[in-house]
Structure 1
């Protein structure tokens, strides 16, 4: 089989290439997936340059998302020929990932692909779409309705942000998109944003511990000062979800939004959350949350184009989602 492989050639030196490798064989309670599509995520890009917080085992195949059909199974749950997907867990980290024609995984990581969505569509969502869905689900579960007020989405041109903007718009919410990319304002409006705020403008505000109430909810994908500033502007009884750290892993804030306005900050993890929760999110994404802007946020590439796409991700130039076509 062909696979995109990262190899360690020095203390801090790594190289990538397309390699020919044997098709993996099942052990107990495992399945081998014949891959149709995968996707690219920021975590994949970090793995490709040997980031030790992501991957320590080399040589290594990247790809934290994968969709395809069961090729071989020693599980009583999945049969050969079923359409399945995997996101999260250790896939693509220290377990070989989905950027290959075949991938072996524990059966406990595997979800079924709903009939109403294609392999390409579900990989356009991928980990980013799952994270966006889990974030929006928390807003809804905590009483943030379309009529409650505007929703702020940070890092809006990224994978999670773009999908969150589109889903929220479809559900009838008024969406304010926050981005550092002035040239992408029209893109954000095209996928559903009602208003776009640029990052520098957003951060150039008062250092007061609270600001005027503006947002009923926030889907934050970047962390750092942007999340801190957003918390100050959430309306009474509002909700913020937090799933990323591309701005910073640190959060310098104060308690006033929480004790004076009853604001709730909810962490989102799509990696280790229960499979039942993932499956429920996929069902929503395949039905009433399925967006008609997928083509606007999708860049389809092949194994041979992954390296260039990683450079865009690591330099902050990527917009939307990269979907990797694996099948011949």
Structure 2
């Protein structure tokens, strides 16, 4: 038996509760993991509250991230005792996820824990930080270098944004952080932000082309914010787009792309191929200072996940939320 958050659906609607589950109920997979740490992401909060159509099968254990130890394995790549990390692959959406003390998974979804990090630190990074690193890699791939000009990060006080600010600053970029919570300015400056900009500067309809300001950008918002970011990119700048916190639409024109050669690079962390995942985690081990992870994260118990999900969606959570599942981890 193990503890888990379980989401169920009935005629009355969708509900989430903390419960105890028999290990025999775990779904199919060729590895069983004793989960040491998990996280509460924006997507998990949508699933728990039912505010978004995240869960595709019921009942469902949410949690798109986990770090733990292999207990049993029929996969030749893994043996009992191996420390592993999982991000995405539909876990918490179509396959039982990480907000539980046990998980049965496909071994092909796992990567080894990066030696630079403990399991709790890996979850303080989690999908959000790994996505931020994928964004940084995309900017590098398209030639954005320190000294080319400032790099903009939207949603900077959130999970992806916080790690993106810290990474870009450590790599030598001048970072402008956009946030709807200006009270977090000191926090963002402590991560390395040079300038703090209010979200209101980007949230209203703007011109098809605006003043050239940014050599690169990491956008978690989408919607009108992303449209305005694209309109204010410098010639041949690149925007790495990885989120939709401000909406799925893109009310933009082609002007930035055909007149300034701007690149809009889409970032998918869920089904990202293993070689790119491993490279992102390798670079996180090299380029992210583990000392900042305490500032980036808030620890909650499994029993606190349901109320914390509502706080997260209300924009009341800074950075990352991590969840201990096994005291031995």
Partner of 2:281: 282
Q: CA deviation at 1:286?
A: 1.6
Alignment of 1:1-328 (within 5 A): 1-11=2-12, 13-24=13-24, 30-50=30-50, 53-203=53-203, 207-328=206-327
Structure 2 CA distance, aligned partners of 1:6 and 1:27? 15
SS of 1:90's partner is: coil
Q: Where in structure 1 are there 5+ consecutive unaligned residues?
A: none
Q: Deviations over 1:238-279 (max 9, x none)?
A: 100101111010001111111111110000000001011111
SS of 1:6's partner is: strand
> Are the structure 2 counterparts of residues 246 and 177 from structure 1 closer, same or farther at C-alpha, using a change threshold of 3 Å?
same
Structure 2 CA distance, aligned partners of 1:271 and 1:24? 27
- Cα pair 1:34 1:68 within 8 Å, conserved: yes
Q: How many residues align?
A: 326
- Cα pair 2:26 2:103 within 8 Å, conserved: no
Higher alpha-carbon deviation: 48-57 or 162-171: 48-57
Q: Deviations over 1:196-228 (max 9, x none)?
A: 0001134468x3321111110010000011111
Structure 1 CA distance, aligned partners of 2:40 and 2:203? 29
Q: Deviations over 1:146-176 (max 9, x none)?
A: 1101000001111101110011111111100
Q: Deviations over 1:121-140 (max 9, x none)?
A: 11111110111000000101
- Cα pair 2:233 2:256 within 8 Å, conserved: yes
Structure 2 CA distance, aligned partners of 1:135 and 1:36? 27
Q: CA deviation at 1:188?
A: 1.1
Structure 2 CA distance, aligned partners of 1:17 and 1:259? 50
Q: CA deviation at 1:291?
A: 4.7
Higher alpha-carbon deviation: 13-22 or 226-235: 13-22
- Cα pair 1:28 1:75 within 8 Å, conserved: no
Structure 2 CA distance, aligned partners of 1:106 and 1:73? 10
> Are the structure 2 counterparts of residues 261 and 28 from structure 1 closer, same or farther at C-alpha, using a change threshold of 3 Å?
same
Q: CA deviation at 1:110?
A: 0.9
The alignment's TM-score, normalised by the length of structure 1, stands at 0.95
Higher alpha-carbon deviation: 313-322 or 141-150: 313-322
Q: CA deviation at 1:44?
A: 0.6
The alignment's TM-score, normalised by the length of structure 2, stands at 0.95
Q: CA deviation at 1:15?
A: 2.6
SS of 2:310's partner is: helix
> Are the structure 2 counterparts of residues 47 and 28 from structure 1 closer, same or farther at C-alpha, using a change threshold of 3 Å?
closer
Q: Where in structure 2 are there 5+ consecutive unaligned residues?
A: none
Q: CA deviation at 1:19?
A: 1.2
